[in-house]
Structure 1
Amino acid sequence: MIKKMFFAILAIGIFTTSCSNDDDGPTTAGLTLNLTGLEELGSDYVYEGWIIVNGAPVSTGTFTSVTFPQIFNVDATQLANATKFVLSIEPAVDPNPEPAPTKILAGDFSGSSAAVDSNGIVADFSGASGKYILATPTDTDDTNEASGVWFLDNTNAPPPVAGLTLPLLPDGWKYEGWAVIGGTPISTGTFTKVAATDDAAPYSGSVALPAPNGADGFFPGEDFLQGAPAGTTFPTDLKGATIVISVEPSPDNSAAPFTLKPLAHVVPGNAANHTVIDMGAGPVVSLSGTVSR
């Protein structure tokens, strides 16, 4: 009788162990994101986290909320072996399993955490500076000169030189100028070169702009002369407006300035036309956070 009970217990143990082995799968561990400064993206884009394991990116999941902390379940072995965390901006419907070029935060793991920031993955804006003038070179009317802003330095002109000192951006990013008029941000155009014509001139006049020596076209900027957005009137007077340089995802599905704004300045009420005005540091020069495993 004792032998029968022994073998019965042994059989149950073997059966239980066998079922447990059959059910074994990858175990997961929590990855906690605690990030500051991010803003919600448009409806067509999401944030996606990545851990770098043996040099290859592994997705940790996508999110749209910018309320933190947030916790994601990740394969425990991969997470333990991860050397770096990267955050990218991806299309909401994304056929490409690889990270997009638009990477916004990154940092190396040290033990159980990684300090992440935008300085190394987007750019370091600590040395950024800017100058601009008020002028409307795209028309022949000299009575509305305070209705245009151009990012150039004409102190020793001719010829004028670039007014912006900005680092080159990696793929997936562009600069964009803004004039905040009566609380409404109005774009002066996107650009990647500080001594070149920007990508658009929807509000400027029809006079062609010259290409000064050393410049690839004219300079970034805009005359606010026609086609004013609802709630604004052109020509305008930019004195008292805020001039901003932002860093935008490319492609970008939001009409508003993105969270990274390395340069900004309120145009003085006594600003003189055609005279260089210095910009200051913007409200958001870098983004940062902590990733814990």
Structure 2
Amino acid sequence: MKKYLILLFAAAGFIFGGCEYFENSDTRSISQLEVNLSGLPAIPDTMTFVGWFDNDDGDPVKAFTLDADANGNLVYSTTSEPLQHLQNAQIFNVTIERKAVLNDSDFVPSGRLILSGRFKLGNASLAFAETVNNFSAYSDSAVFNLSTPTDGPNTNELSGVWFVDSLNLPAGPIAGLYLPALLSGWIYEGWVEVGGVFLSTGRFISASSPDNFSGYSGSGAKYNYPGEDFLNNPPAGVTFPLDLSNAKVYVSIELDNGEDSGQAPSYKIFEATIPSGAQSGVTYPLQLSSPNLPGGVVKITVDLLE
């Protein structure tokens, strides 16, 4: 007698929930494996997305290699996935890999992890979703200030954005962002938008340390937190210094490609509009955005033989 077990893994944000492998020695084959992912980032033509069955103690097994479409969607299905992969799997990952190494004998997942989830036992139809980075828990403490520390005090103060709080404390400012650690392969980035042009304040892993970019700042000492003064080397169409009144401020999540800054935000998690008549030394709040983060569904239909 055949029974059909459908294991459904649903994704929200960066993680889709999974299913602990079931224990049934009479199980023989997988009827169908279906993968539907959306919101994937644009990547170079030399790279692609790879799905993996994984576990805590063994080696990962490649499930698929496929490019996403122009809208960031990826659809994959097969009717011949070996059951051994599911029996041993505790985790399902999606990574970004270089196409040049896909056929190497020692090919293993890189650190560019996009989606990951743990399998959880279920029968019939099981849906489990887990969001690793619940940024709503951090939105109440997300703030920024306008200041330009790298050109001295009281000079062009409305031409810099720093993610700090309490700018006027005798001991100096404190962190204006408290953020969770991101999955491997991702990094935070700050932005201002002026006249439709995005200006990066730099990429950072920790909101309690400086970011990786100082391309627009002056020669003076900067705050020990993420931010940027917009004083030098303006891009085309922008004139420095700025008056950032009415400009927009963002914090985003970006694919970490080793660059110190990007061209435009990918996944905005916090945002704010600087008011008209803005002032330096005033702490302005950031609001939670609603980014279309990567996500997806993996559906595995299994034949159980008794």
The bucket for the TM-score relative to the shorter chain is 0.7 to 0.9
**Is 2:68 the partner of 1:65?**
yes
Aligned partner of residue 268 in structure 1, secondary structure: coil
Greater CA drift, 249-258 or 221-230: 249-258
Matched to 1:250, the amino acid is: D
**2:26 paired residue number:** none
Deviation at 1:30, TM superposition (A): 4.3
1:154 and 1:103 map into 2 onto residues whose CA distance is: 36
Alpha-carbon distance in 1 for matches of 2:93, 2:53:
6
**Number of residue pairs matched by the alignment:** 258
CA contact (8 A) 1:147 1:236 kept: yes
Q: How does 1:69-148 map to 2 (within 5 A)?
A: 70-73=75-78, 75-81=81-87, 82-94=89-101, 97-109=107-119, 110-111=122-123, 115=128, 119-120=131-132, 123-129=133-139, 130-140=142-152, 142-148=154-160
- For 1:206 and 1:231, how far apart are their aligned partners in 2? 23
| Bigger-Rg structure (1/2) | 1
Q: TM-score, normalised by structure 1?
A: 0.76
Q: CA RMSD in A?
A: 3.0
- The one of the two structures with greater contact order (alpha-carbon pairs below 8 A, sep at least 6) is 2
Q: Which moved more, 1:249-258 or 1:185-194?
A: 249-258
**1:238 aligns to what?**
244
Q: Which residue number in structure 1 is paired with residue 304 of structure 2?
A: none
1:146–1:273 Cα contact (<8 Å) kept: yes
Which of 270, 278, 281 is equivalent to 1:274? 281
Q: Please give the alpha-carbon distance, in whole angstroms, between the structure 2 residues aligned to 1:235 and 1:250.
A: 29
Q: Give me the whole-angstrom Cα distance separating, in 2, the residues matched to 1:149 and 1:188.
A: 8
Q: Which residue in the other structure is 2:47 paired with?
A: 45
- Taking the aligned partners of 1:184 and 1:243, their CA distance within structure 2 comes to 12
Q: What is aligned with 2:267?
A: 260
CA distance 1:201–1:277, change in 2 (3 Å):
same
Shift of 1:91: 2.7
Q: CA deviation at 1:41?
A: 1.8
Comparing 275-284 and 166-175, the one that deviates more: 166-175
State the SS of the aligned residue for 2:65.
strand
Does the 8 Å contact 2:36/2:76 carry over to 1?
Answer: no
TM-score normalised by length of structure 2: 0.73
Q: Does the residue aligned with 2:135 lie in a helix, a strand or coil?
A: coil
Q: Look up the SS of the partner of 1:167 in the other structure.
A: coil
TM-superposition CA deviations, 1:146-185 (whole Å, max 9, x none): 1110010016612211000111234433211111222222
Amino acid across the alignment from 1:180 = E
Unmatched 5+ residue regions in structure 2? Answer: 1-28, 301-306
Contact 1:108 1:115 in 2 (8 A): no
Structure 1 match to 2:219: 206
Distance verdict in 2 for CA 1:42–1:183, change over 3 Å: farther
| Distance across 1 between alignment mates of 2:32 and 2:244 | 50
1:62 maps to amino acid: T
C-alpha deviations, 1:88-107, integer Å up to 9, x for none?
A: 22234335621122222222
Deviation track 1:211-249 (CA, whole Å, cap 9, x = no partner) reads xxxxxxx11100111111122221122222221111222
* Alpha-carbon distance in 1 for matches of 2:168, 2:265: 33
Partner amino acid, structure 1, of 2:47: Y
- Provide the secondary structure at the position in 1 that maps to 2:150: coil
Q: Report the counterpart of residue 7 of structure 1 in structure 2.
A: none
Q: Say whether the 8 Å CA contact 1:33–1:68 is kept in structure 2.
A: no
Counterparts of 1:65 and 1:286, CA distance in 2: 15
Q: How many angstroms apart in 2 are the aligned matches of 1:137 and 1:282?
A: 28
Q: 1:113 to 1:69 in 2, by over 3 A?
A: farther
Q: Percent identity?
A: 35
Aligned partners of 1:38 and 1:259 also within 8 Å: no
Contact 2:40–2:73 (8 Å) recurs in 1: no
